[in-house]
Chains A and B, each alone.
Chain A
């Protein structure tokens, strides 16, 4: 490849962790930089303004990485701009691809969220009861604006056409190190698919009974991580910790079960699964020894849809 690859990166409704996963490439990043022309990376890396991106010719950027979900009108606007300017647009990380952790906000109304954020939290000091307004006039003459806070969180594909999805919260830097060179080299899978190593977390997990020639047994109890550490070397799900590794893409290398933490699905659904939470429900429930155990699963929606509620079939709580 002769020319440098033009890259744009936009942090939408995310935490910046996905940006960090790129910075975590460390030496690899140093090797990559000569091949890159970062035309836009806001707000974390480059000193550029939205209008700089808006001013570029359409489709003049090779690859756009979009991290974070859509909750504000500003983010929806920027998603449209990124789509227009980038030839390939990637929903990068769990928030962009599925709605992510902030997507759990879809179990609450905007009013409930404002009530907690602007009134109820201990650190809030708001004697005048101010909540965000999209317009406000200061001194009778200066009009200030804020983006609109939408009623729901949406994943990127709900507002712009997405070419590829990358899972992970954040994507693991070793995986990023493997996929970024491919992306820069222009080697992509079929449009609309996930960029993934195509293996479930279970398939890469040392605790997997199948790997050891053991049989999967029915689960007799439900445990939480606060109930004490699990037995070494034994499948977490078999011990009653609700590990979702069976339905999750293992591009992290089965990171969580290695350190006694059940997989919560940040890697995104394994290929062929449309609704992560429903498939996880199906997988876990099929292993329960009796129906009564269902009552012992705390807050099931936020367990099974921890990273994917906005991208699910229902998407949000129905009122």
Chain B
């Protein structure tokens, strides 16, 4: 498995984390090419189905990035997302996924450097956890 590289899906809120990713680019901060960003209007619209679909289709890690508490463009979206995410994470863990395969964090539009650092760190943690076990599952495991 030496040539394995993680495949990471990031759901980034348009009003904060996605801007943070933009800023990371402008500031020329490096972060791993294993990250694929999907821009969403708010973390509140990231349904549990989206995260499970990513995992089911082989994503090794899923990251949800939203606005800091109190800063949601739609007022309550990130709070609802946080409770949903926590419950989903409990369920995914019970279903056999490593808890750290999915992560949610608040990254604002001004935190470009922090976005790059967080992505680097998340990528490393997924490298430590290893490939998504769904591959073994599809082969009847």
Contacts and interface: CB of A to CB of B under 8 A. Distances in A.
Interface of A: 107, 151, 274-275, 277-279, 281-282, 284-286, 288, 290-291, 293-294, 297, 299-301, 304, 313-314, 316-319
Nearest to A289: B83
B30 interface: no
B91 A313 contact: no
Contacts, number: 79
A300 B133 contact: no
Given A278-B48, A291-B86, A319-B133, A286 B80 contact: yes
B52 interface: yes
Contacts of B134: 318
Given A317-B96, A319-B133, A300 B91 contact: yes
Contact of A318 (B53, B91, B96): B96
Nearest to A299: B94
B52 A275 contact: yes
Given A281-B48, A313-B56, A314-B52, A294 B83 contact: yes
B82 A314 contact: no
Max chain B C-beta neighbours (<10 A), residue from A107, A277, A282, A297: A282
B90 interface: yes
B49 interface: yes
B137 interface: yes
B86 to A, nearest CB: 5
B52 A278 contact: yes
Contacts of A279: 47-49
Given A313-B53, A319-B137, A284 B87 contact: yes
14 contacts: A151-B140, A274-B49, A275-B49, A275-B52, A278-B88, A279-B49, A285-B80, A286-B80, A301-B94, A314-B52, A318-B95, A318-B133, A319-B136, A319-B141
B83 A286 contact: yes
Interface in B37-80: 47-49, 52-53, 55-56, 80
A278 B133 contact: no
Nearest to B53: A313
B49 A301 contact: no
Given A279-B48, A281-B48, A286-B83, 12 more contacts: A275-B52, A285-B84, A286-B84, A300-B94, A301-B94, A313-B56, A316-B137, A317-B96, A318-B96, A318-B97, A318-B136, A319-B136
